[in-house]
Structure 1
Amino acid sequence: MTDLLDFASRFESGSRGPAQLYLISPLEVGGDFPDKLRAALDAGPVAAFQFRVKGVDQHEAARLAEPLQRICEAREVAFIVNDDMALAKRLGAEGVHLGQGDGDPREARALLGPSAQIGVTCHDSRHLAMEAGEAGADYVAFGAFFPTGTKETFHRPESSILGWWSALFELPCVAIGGITAQNGRALIEAGADFLAVCSAVWGHSEGPGAAVAEFQTILQR
């Protein structure tokens, strides 16, 4: 099983190390999307891929997920399921990402086991982030930092929340929402451990491989 983060090597030097890329799938992952995923993952280091589909039953979701999961496994990229603990269990995924209405991290831990990577959306809330950490989450996600068409958003945190979190807690934080290779550097400098990206990769004019290559130029702190 691929770990989303090697905690020992990341923090033993007193530095959080370089930021990493965390890809989120578009809602449509059939057709030629597996080829796009291969191109993205082969273009540079990617820590994790989050499988995010809506409006399909679990059997169809599992059918869509399986080839993508194989692609991730071959490249040692953590395969994270959005929202659905039961689907993550069924697939044997590396973990699950929970929104505020998707269940408790403790429940996910009991279902998925001690090695599962559990992330929690915390919007712009320091309180929710601390609660997630206390409940056993492996990472917290803040956002949306920029306008995004990927999903409807109601929270717009200041980048200072990343610095506050990284100064006080070793638990990694993910920045999400409208992030591009042009605006992402400021979030890394503020303290983001991961940049979660969707449209900027899958909608890139030169393809997802070119997009991931662009991001590699900004990930070093």
Structure 2
Amino acid sequence: MTAPAARPGLRGLYFVTPDRAAGRIALVAAALRGGARVVQYRDKSGTGMARLPETRELLALCRKAGALLLINDDVELCLAAAADGVHLGEDDAGIAEARDQLGPNRVIGASCYNDLDRARRAIAAGADYVAFGSVYPSPTKPAARRANPDLLRAARAELAVPICAIGGITPDNAAPVVAAGADMVAVIQAISEAPDPETAARALQALFP
């Protein structure tokens, strides 16, 4: 199966699912109602094709909302579910290899941490967007490398692909990140731990008119 011919752009709120399975579908639905444009299915506790039924359920929600569903570090699951693409970290499958498997029409994102040169290499290998972070201290990854606003500005001035910022971003501190050049802000706990996930999502998406 191939990815849809017409897809939304890589701009706006990017929701990364929490590892816990309980309530994950409901959280994604709330984020999408709030305007999320991209959802990344991240489940480090699951394995292989056992995650296929949930992936298909998430994909149906994203299709209905006109959003993208990307799979964290699993090209085979992406293909099996006919999802929109994958997001790869430095220890994940190679970008060029993933591009060969996924073809030209699916999205590949690459974690670049605080390394602009890594972003250059990722784009040369076929990445459609690059992600920098942690922008702020992150409760999800407290030891994560930090990417400051100057790095985002430098990336925006040079790179021709969308830029995603991640790490400790909330509705209260996201505006400077967008002003520095982020096309997307990726969050987990800002939505998953919010008293009202839909309202939190709407506040973040509102930064992208």
TM-score (norm. length: structure 2): 0.92
Letter in 1 for 2:157: A
Matched, 1:129 2:119: yes
State the percentage of identical aligned residues: 33
1:118 to 95, 108, 115: 108
Who is 1:216 aligned against?
205
Residue in structure 1 matching 2:26, options 26, 30, 35: 35
Determine if the alignment matches structure 1 residue 26 to structure 2 residue 15: no
- Within 5 Å, which residues of 2 pair with 1:169-208? 169-205=159-195, 207-208=196-197
Contact 1:144 1:153 in 2 (8 A): no
Match for 1:27: what amino acid? Answer: D
1:130-153 deviations in Å (ceiling 9; x for gaps):
100111100000001111122354
SS at match of 2:49: helix
Compute the RMSD of aligned alpha carbons: 1.6
- Report the Cα distance in structure 2 between the residues aligned to 1:152 and 1:87, rounded to whole angstroms: 28
Structure 1 residue runs without a partner (length 5+): 7-18
Runs of 4+ in structure 1 off by over 4 angstroms are: none
Provide the rounded CA distance (Å) in 1 between the counterparts of 2:73 and 2:143. 16
Q: Which moved more, 1:171-180 or 1:146-155?
A: 146-155
Q: Which of the numbers 111, 136, 143 marks the counterpart of 1:146?
A: 136
1:84/1:96 contact within 8 Å kept: yes
Match of 2:87 in 1: 97
Give the gaps of 5 or more residues in structure 2: none
Q: Is the 8 A contact 2:134 2:167 kept in 1?
A: yes
Q: Any idea what the Cα deviations from partners look like across 1:57-79, whole Å, max 9, x if unmatched?
A: 21222122221111111111100
User: Counterpart of 1:47?
Assistant: 37
Normalising by structure 1, we get a TM-score of: 0.87
1:87 aligns with 2:77: yes
